[in-house]
Structure 1
Amino acid sequence: KATPPSLVVPPFSMEHKRRRVRGQHEIDVEDIAADPRPGMAAPSSIAFSADDRHVGYLIAQSGSREQVLLCNEIGDDGRLSPAQPFVRQALAPSGGEESLTLEERMRRERTRSWGHGV
């Protein structure tokens, strides 16, 4: 009776990880743990103005959890103008996560609502 080949697993080391070159479509632990998760950085709370000339939405800037309110003007040809901040920076709230109460931080953790901002 033949014995199955033994599986040899090299010991894990960070040096091995640093030398490894990822393929184009490979997913790493850092990709999975990234925030926002890959493919999840999309506009939310999309709304149109009463005259259908503007569209507003919340979106997090690249690499950030803070959501900003952006607005695009819809041209006569249906094309969108470049996005403009809807709230002036001087009026935007400040403080980020550190200004939240413990109860609010716990609520966000339970609902997995990691974003903040508007």
Structure 2
Amino acid sequence: MTLPKLSPDMSTEEMDRMAENAARAAGFLKAISHEGRLMILCHLASGEKSVTELEELLSARQAAVSQQLARLRFEGLVVPRREGKAIYYSLADDRPRKMIETVYELFCADQ
């Protein structure tokens, strides 16, 4: 993959599109930059989990897990599914999984 070359003669439309993409990317990176949210995404990379399962896996209170899930939902990284009283979460698309794989490769694979 090669990055596009930036030039001073880019059109206003190209610059606007680039700024929109940068804003989306910044939101994505901010969302995953929190340790708790990153751990949630790691667990969801292996499949759908209930809020209760995530609480147990993270050894965290329901309020804390719900707060982090709300941010991930806001950024469009996870989607909820209700089944009776339980709420299950899964990754919204493949972007978080790709990022988790890269982070794992950079920080965890050699340990």
- Note whether the superposition's TM-score is higher than 0.5: no
What's the TM-score, normalizing by structure 2?
0.24
**Structure number having the greater helix percentage:** 2
> When you count strand as a share of all residues, which structure comes out higher?
1
TM-score (normalizing by structure 1): 0.23
